[in-house]
């Protein structure tokens, strides 16, 4: 209760100071105008503007109403003959003052109402952003639980079998088990890198620190890292001839490119992947196209929300798409870009965009 009273007092004090300050400045300006033009109409317009500013920068309707009466009184008392004397009975002036009061009052009410509506819209936008972040967090956790649990289960199963039946296993079976454990361990390492990438995004803001980066170098680095992991993958790359500096967090965008290329190799059934970049009017578009079997139509709408996870029917523990694509969506949205997928005549095409221009994270 005491805090509420203290806040009310602060708001009241703020309203008084702002109203007084605006009217002092308006009066000084009005005196200057009146001194050179002797025109009270210009003075009335100045005070109408003052009323609008009071309504804009104060809280509630009361300051605007008070400012309306103050404006009428100031014009009558200071700038209407006889000067320094209130007189509303002079011929023609009552209508002028009534019109000024009505205009000032309407201006104040409309400005205050507009400000309140703007505050409501901002609050709704914040709630929608919070809801989107919660959904993204839930999808990420669901994807993590799936894509990390599956290879861990495989590693534990293979290791237990190796230890329990070591004497009865052939060298070929032992080699297969060790190779499977190694592949699953590398897949887990890749997932950890994905999770570490997300930690670069500002906590609670889903934003990143961006700086202009050379597009060709970022793409080249991502492809080189992919080839170290998947030597058999064949990636054809095409970038614009124009030298482009794109605002981004280079490490995160490289991770997105790698995730999409890996998904193309693992899930398409083809080792051939096309990566080409196109410059649009205010953005750059990244296209990752495989030449495989495509994606089931019923999974296209949810593939970035953890809906890309399959049941690993092939038995390959690193076949889950969930966490990688969910993280791709998180990273691209944090860059104020877009990401989508569509099926082609043969295979699937992932497209993500990044806006061009100045550092979009500063001051937002």
Domain of 215: which CATH number? 3.30.565.10
The model's confidence at residue 245, banded by pLDDT at 50, 70 and 90, is very high
267 and 141 belong to one structural domain? yes
CB 143 within 8 A of CB 135: no
Range of the domain at 45: 2-90
72 and 150 belong to one structural domain? no
The burial of 168, by beta-carbon neighbours within 10 Å (0-12 exposed, 13-18 middle, 19 or more buried), is given as exposed
- Inform me whether the pLDDT recorded for 101 exceeds 80: no
Per-residue pLDDT averaged across 296-320, rounded?
60
149 and 264 belong to one structural domain? yes
159 and 26 belong to one structural domain? no
288 and 346 belong to one structural domain? yes
Predicted structure pTM score:
0.55
On whether residue 196 sits in a domain, the answer given is yes
On whether residue 108 sits in a domain, the answer given is no
288 and 175 belong to one structural domain? yes
On whether residue 100 sits in a domain, the answer given is no
Q: Return the DSSP state at 90.
A: S
Return d(Cα 221, Cα 332) in angstroms, integer: 18
| Inter-residue long-range contacts of 343-347, CB under 8 Å, 24+ positions, other chains counted | 343/294, 343/295, 343/297, 343/300, 344/289, 344/294, 346/291, 346/292, 346/294, 347/268, 347/270, 347/289, 347/290, 347/291, 347/292, 347/293, 347/294
On whether residue 95 sits in a domain, the answer given is no
Say which range, 24-28, 150-154, 355-359, has the weakest mean pLDDT: 355-359
Per-residue pLDDT averaged across 48-68, rounded?
79
Count the domains in the chain: 2
Q: In this predicted structure, what is the pLDDT of residue 360?
A: 45
Per-residue pLDDT averaged across 268-281, rounded?
87
177 and 324 belong to one structural domain? yes
* Residue after which a domain boundary falls, among 90, 116, 150: 90
* Residue after which a domain boundary falls, among 34, 63, 90: 90
C-beta atoms surrounding 127 within 10 Å: 10
Q: In this predicted structure, what is the pLDDT of residue 200?
A: 63
């Amino acid at each position: 209760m005491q805090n509420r009273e203290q806040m009310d007092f602060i708001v009241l004090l703020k309203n008084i100071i702002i109203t007084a300050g605006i009217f002092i400045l308006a009066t000084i300006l009005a005196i200057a105008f009146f001194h050179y033009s002797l025109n009270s109409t210009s003075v009335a317009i100045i005070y109408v503007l003052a009323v609008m500013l009071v309504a804009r920068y104060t809280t509630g309707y009361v300051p605007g109403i008070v400012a309306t009466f103050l404006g009428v009184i100031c014009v009558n008392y200071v700038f209407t003959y006889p000067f320094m004397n209130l007189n509303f009975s002079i011929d023609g002036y009552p209508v002028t003052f009534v019109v000024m009061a009505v205009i000032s009052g309407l201006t104040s009410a409309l400005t205050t109402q507009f400000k309140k509506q703007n505050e409501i819209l901002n609050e709704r936008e914040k709630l929608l952003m919070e809801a989107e972040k919660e959904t993204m967090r839930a999808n990420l956790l669901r994807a993590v639980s799936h894509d990390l649990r599956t290879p861990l289960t495989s590693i534990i199963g293979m290791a237990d079998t190796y230890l329990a039946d070591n004497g009865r296993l052939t060298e070929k079976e032992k080699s297969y088990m060790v190779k499977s454990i190694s592949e699953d361990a590398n897949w887990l390492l890749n997932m950890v890198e994905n999770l570490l990438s997300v930690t670069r995004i500002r906590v609670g803001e889903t934003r990143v620190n961006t700086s202009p980066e050379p597009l060709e170098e970022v793409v080249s680095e991502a492809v080189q890292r992919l080839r170290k992991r998947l030597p058999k993958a064949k990636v054809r790359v095409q970038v614009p001839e124009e030298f482009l500096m794109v605002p981004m967090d280079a490490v995160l965008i490289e991770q997105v490119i790698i995730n999409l290329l890996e998904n193309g190799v693992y899930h398409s059934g083809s080792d051939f992947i096309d990566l080409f970049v196109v410059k649009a009017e205010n953005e750059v578009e990244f296209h990752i196209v495989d030449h495989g079997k495509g994606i089931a139509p019923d999974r296209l709408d949810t593939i970035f929300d953890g809906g890309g996870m399959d049941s690993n029917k092939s038995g390959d523990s690193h076949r889950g798409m969930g966490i990688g694509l969910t993280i791709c969506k998180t990273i691209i949205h944090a860059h104020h870009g877009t990401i989508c997928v569509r099926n082609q005549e043969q295979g699937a095409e992932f497209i993500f965009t990044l806006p061009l221009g100045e550092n979009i994270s500063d001051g937002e």
